[in-house]
Amino acid sequence: MTTGIAPACRDALARWLDHMRALDGAAENTIAAYTTDLRDFIAFMTEHRGGPQGLGALAQITVSDMRAWLARTRADGIGPRSVARKLSAVKSFYRWLAEREGFEPTAVLSARSPKYTRKLPRPIATDAVNDVLETVRDGARNDWVGARDVAVLTLLYGCGLRISEALGLTCAALPLDNALRVSGKGGKERIVPVLAAAREAINAYAALCPFAATPGRALFVGARGGPLSPRIVQKSLANARMQLGLPATATPHALRHSFATHLLSAGGDLRAIQELLGHASLSTTQAYTGVDAARLMEVYDAAHPRAGRKSG
């Protein structure tokens, strides 16, 4: 919807989205969400302020206007987490726009985000992971599909990959070595070690896959040879989950949580796990693995360059 958006404002929004794609490496689903958030925001301001919102009007938005928008958003039944995401998108756009148009964005940037508790999937027990993999293999319509789904899930659990990272791999990764280069959020690359079980699962799938493994082809493919959809993997795991009586929290993403949690419980270093997961912040890894604050401070104290030093 572009109603109430002046051409100059529409062009600015398009340029900002291009900026997010090019410099920040935002994924297309993120770009789509940002587009909707900003258009809804501008549409509200058009109604609230009684006129089309060009660049000049946007620069004059007040604290009161922001409170009215947040109140309407919450009144529409949108949850705190979604409201926080919308506000984050609006603030990001305003920071960018203010630098180019030379206005003061404090009224927008000072708006407070609602507090919410981030819900994370519960880790899956080790024996349950093995049961899931066996059930997924046995429930597939043919051997190569079963091997494919097991290989994907093994990468999530054995290497801590996001499902988008696993499905983003190409056949150039073959033959799999002891380490794998992964492109994560924002296009940031990291190196993750590959366990023997993951190599075996990938090799088994590659040997059975009926489609030629050309370097540029997606490693994991669907029934017609195109890139595998994450929905197929989610459905495969959901079927196994139902057969095994596992909770609805047993999702592909929960396997990544399980990787981190099980590694930590086995004595893994929290900072090393942070690097393996591709988290920008150690606090994210803390929440991911359920680490308490005391353990987190131990890691900070051990890693901080001034740790253990006495002031002269």
**pLDDT, tens only, 230-286:** 999 889 988 888 888 887 878 887 877 776 664 555 555 445 545 555 544 444 444
Higher pLDDT, 287 or 37: 37
Catalytic residue status for 279 = yes
Q: What ranges do the domains of the chain cover? A: 7-109, 126-255
Which helix or strand (DSSP H or E) is residue 259 part of?
helix 252-265
**CA atoms of 16 and 146, how far apart (whole Å):** 43
| The one-letter amino acid at 102 | G
Catalytic residue status for 256 = yes
**CA atoms of 156 and 148, how far apart (whole Å):** 13
Was domain 7-109 assigned CATH 1.10.1020.10? no
Q: How many CA atoms lie within 13 A of 149 on its CB side?
A: 28
The dihedral over CA atoms of 225, 231, 234, 239, expressed in degrees to the nearest 10, equals: -80
Worst-scoring range by mean pLDDT, 107-111, 117-121, 167-171? 117-121
Catalytic residue status for 39 = no
| Strand partners for 190 | 182
Catalytic residue status for 253 = yes
- The token pair at 99 is 């630098």
Evaluate if residue 16 carries a pLDDT over 60.
yes
- Same topology between domain 7-109 and domain 126-255: no
Is 192 in a helix, a strand, or coil?
strand
Burial of 297 (0-12, 13-18, 19+ CB in 10 A): exposed
**CA atoms of 218 and 147, how far apart (whole Å):** 16
Q: How many CA atoms lie within 13 A of 231 on its CB side?
A: 0
Worst-scoring range by mean pLDDT, 51-65, 80-94, 296-310? 296-310
Question: Which of 91, 185, 190, 217 is an active site residue?
Answer: 185
Catalytic residue status for 288 = yes
Question: Which of 39, 85, 253, 271 is an active site residue?
Answer: 253
Question: Which of 137, 162, 199, 257 is an active site residue?
Answer: 162
Residue 150 confidence (pLDDT): 94
DSSP codes joined into one string, 63-75: HHHHHHHHHHHHH
* CATH number of the 126-255 domain: 1.10.443.10
Contacts of 113 (CB under 8 A, 6+ apart): 83, 84, 87, 88
